[in-house]
Amino acid sequence: MADTLLESQPDLMLDIDKSEQGDVRTEEMLVNMGPQHPATHGVLRVVLRTDGELVLEAVPHIGYLHRCAEKIGENLQPYQYIPYTDRMDYLAGMNNNQAFAIAIERLAGIEVPERAKYIRVIFAELNRIASHLVALGTYGLDMGAFTPFLYMFREREMILDLFESTCGARLTYSYINVGGVHDDFPDRFLDVLEEFLDYFEPKIEEYNQLLSYNHIFVKRTANVGVISPDDAVRWALTGPVLRGSGINWDLRKSTPYEIYDRFDFDIPIGLPGGSERIPRSVVVGDCWNRYFVRLVEMEQSCRIIRQAMKQIPEGKILANKLKNLKLPNDEVYVEIENPRGQLGFYIRGDGSAIPSRVKARGPSFCNISVLNHIGKGCLLADIPAIVGSIDIVMGECDR
Amino acid sequence: MAPEKICDILKQRFPNAVTAAVLDARRPYATVAAEQWREVATCLRDDPRCAFNMLQCISAIDLLEDNRLAAVYDFFSVPIKGVGPCPRLKHHFAVRVVVDRDNPHIPSVSDIWPAADWHEREAFDMMGIVFDGHPDLTRILCPDDWEGFPLRKDYEFPTEYHGIPATTEHQLTNPRH
C-alpha cells in the first residue's frame, strides 16, 4: 500500500533509497476518531486502520444520535410529526418540513394554495443558503481557516432573523406544515428580503477571495477524496456530492416538485481544473469541487428567490379541510432536494389518522456510507477534509 | 418508461418471479419472489430498457395481518454513464420482496448496488430481515447488544437497558404499535 502511494505521488519519494526501505519496520495501528471529535461534525465515529500516515481502512460507525424518529412517526398524526422532522437535519429544518408535508399531501391528495407554494420555495432556498453557509464555514474551520467561518455565520444570522420574523423560531421551525404554511409574511418582509439579497450576493465573491482560491485551502482539498461519477451513482450519492462528481442531477430540475419548473436557474456541477473559475490542480469529484458546487448553488438560490418574489400572488396560505385528516390505505415515496442531497419519505397509510410506516431516507446516511471506499489509501490528514466535504448532519444520518 | 412496460419486461424475462403488481396506484410497484430477486435485480440494472443504475432506498415494512415482512426497493435511472448501460430514461420504479415473518431471508443485492449495503443493515437492525450474502450484516443504528427489532409491530419495549430504566412516571412503555 505504501508503495502505491509513493508511485502515484513521486514528489513524496524525495531521497528515499529503495534498498534501505526494507529495514524500516512499520506496524499497523487502529485509530479511533470520534465519536466526540471536532472534525466529524457531530457524533460520527470512524475507525481508521493506519500504516504510519497512510489510511488503509476508514470504517464509519453511526447510531450515536438514534432517537427512533421512524417509530415515533408511526405513533403520531402527521401534523404532530412535523417538529420531529426539524430535528433530523437541524441545519435545514424548512426543507425537512417541506419533504414530509409534500409526502403527506400526495398521499392524502391535498391541494396547496399558490401563495403557500411560493412561500415554501422562498424559505426552502433561504434555508439552503443558510445550510451551505454552515457547511462551507465549518469546512474552512476544518482546514485551518478561521476567518471565513465568522464571515459566513454573520450572513447566516441575517437569514435566521428573517425566519424568526416570520415563524418565531431560529433553528427548528416547524413552519411548513401539511397543506401549506402556518403564518403569512410580516409587513415589509419582501423589502427586507430584497435588501438582504442585495447585500448577500456580492459577499459570495468575498468568500472566494477569502477561502476558495486560498493557496493552502486548495492544496488541502484539490485532488483529495476523488469520487468518480461511476462510484457516485453506484453508491447512490446525491446533492452536491453527486454534482461535484460532474453529474447534472438535481431533483428541482430533473423531476420538478412544487413549482420549481417556473424558475430559471442553473445546476452547478464539478468541473476539471483550468476551466473558468477553477484552479488548475483541481479534478472532477474531489473535495474542492464539492465545496465549490455548494458555493455556486448559493448564487443560484438567490436567483430563484428573486424570481419567486416577483411572481408571488396574494391569497390563502393553508388548504381547507385539514381537520380529522385520514390517510388512505396506500403508500407514497417522495424525494426532494435537500441542501445535502435527496431526502426521501416513504409513507404508508392504513385508513386511520396515523401512518402505519414512516421511513426517512436521509442524504447524509447514504453519502457517508462511501467513506471507506474513498478513504482507502489517502493520508490521515485527508480524512477530515473528506468528511467535511461530504457535509453530514448526524441527526439525519441516525434519525 | 411507463411502469406497465417495465413490469412487462420483467414478466417476459422471468415468468415465475413477478407474483403480483400494483400499477395504477400513486406509487406503482411489482412484487418479486425472494428466490429470483437477484436475477431480477441484475436485469433491472443491466437491461438497457430499464437501466436502473441508482438504488435510492430500501424500506422495510411489517405486514402483521398477513404474518409477513417486506422490503421495498426504490430505483431511479439517472442519465449518466454508470454501472450498466447509459440510460436516457429518468424513470422510477419500485419492487417489493415479501417474505415469511418466521423465516425472513432475502438475498443481498449489495454487490449489484453498493448503496444497498447500509440500507440492508438498517432493515436488518430495525425489522430483522436477514439479507443472505451481505458482507457485514450487523446492527447499524441500535447498539450491538440490543434485543428485538424495534420497528416490528409486535415489538415489546424493554423496561431497562444496562440498568437505565425505560419506564416513565406514567408507566408508559408500549406505544400504539
- pLDDT tens sequence across A285-302: 899 999 999 999 999 999
Residue from the list A63, A75, A361 with its beta carbon closest to the beta carbon of B142: A63
Task: Judge: A233–B54 Cβ closer than 8 Å, yes or no.
Answer: yes
Compare all CA atoms of chain B with the CA of A332 and give the residue at the minimum distance: B27
pLDDT value, residue B169: 61
Q: Closest approach of chain A CAs to the CA of B35, in angstroms? A: 24
Q: Does A63 touch chain B (CB under 8 A)?
A: yes
Q: Which pLDDT score is estimated for A281?
A: 86
User: Angle of helix A147-167 relative to helix A189-207, nearest 10 degrees?
Assistant: 170
Select the residue from A67, A106, A228, A233 to test the B interface by mutation, using most B Cβ atoms within 10 A.
A233
Q: Which residues of A touch B31 (CB under 8 A)?
A: none
Asked if A332 lies within 8 A of B151 by C-beta distance, the reply is: no
* The predicted structure's pLDDT at residue A101: 92
Nearest CA distance, A229 vs chain B (angstrom): 7
Whether A208 contacts chain B with CB within 8 A: no
Which among A230, A356, A357 has the least Cβ separation from residue B83? A230
- Which among B80, B140, B176 has CB closest to A63? B140
Q: Nine-digit cell at A206? A: 468575498
A342 touches chain B (CB under 8 A): yes
Neighbours of B102 (CB within 10 A): 8
Instruction: Render pLDDT for B83-135 as a digit per residue (tens, 0 to 9).
Output: 445 555 677 888 989 998 888 999 999 888 898 999 999 999 999 899 998 99
Grid coordinates representing A22? Answer: 526494507
pLDDT given at position A96:
92
CB contact under 8 A, B115 and A369: yes
CA atoms in the 13 A half-sphere facing the CB of A323 = 0
Q: How far is A293 from chain B (nearest CA, A)?
A: 18
Which of the residues in chain A have pLDDT under 50? 1-2, 5-6, 13-14
The C-alpha of B123 sits at a distance from chain A's nearest C-alpha, in angstroms, of 11
Kindly determine whether residue A236 and residue B141, on different chains, have CB atoms separated by under 8 Å: no
List pLDDT tens digits, range B9-42: 878 888 777 777 777 777 888 888 888 888 888 8
Protein fold of B3-155: Beta Polymerase; domain 2 (3.30.460)
Q: What is the rounded CA–CA span in Å between residue A323 and residue A8?
A: 64
State how far the Cα of B137 lies from the Cα of B130, in Å rounded to an integer.
Answer: 8
Choose the CATH number for A69-361 among 1.10.645.10, 3.30.56.10, 1.10.760.10, 3.40.50.720.
Answer: 1.10.645.10
Return the domain boundaries, chain A: 69-361
Q: Does A233 touch chain B (CB under 8 A)?
A: yes
The answer, yes or no, to whether residue B172 has pLDDT greater than 60, is no
CA distance A350 to chain B (A): 11
Q: Under DSSP, is residue A353 helix (H, G, I), strand (E, B) or coil?
A: coil
Instruction: Give the percent of chain B with pLDDT over 90.
Output: 13
Residue type, A364: S
A363: distance to nearest CA of chain B, Å? 10
Residue A293: its pLDDT value, please?
92
Which helix (H) or strand (E) is A48 found in, with range?
A: strand A45-51
The C-alpha atoms of residue A318 and residue B44 are separated, in whole angstroms, by 41
Helix (H) or strand (E) holding A121: helix A114-142
Cell digits for B68?
Answer: 409477513
Closest Cβ–Cβ partner in A255, A330, A344 for B57: A344
Q: Which of B140, B150, B176 lies nearest to residue A68, judging by beta carbons?
A: B150
Residues in CB range of A201: below 8 A, 6 or more apart: A299, A302
Q: What ipTM describes this predicted complex? A: 0.84
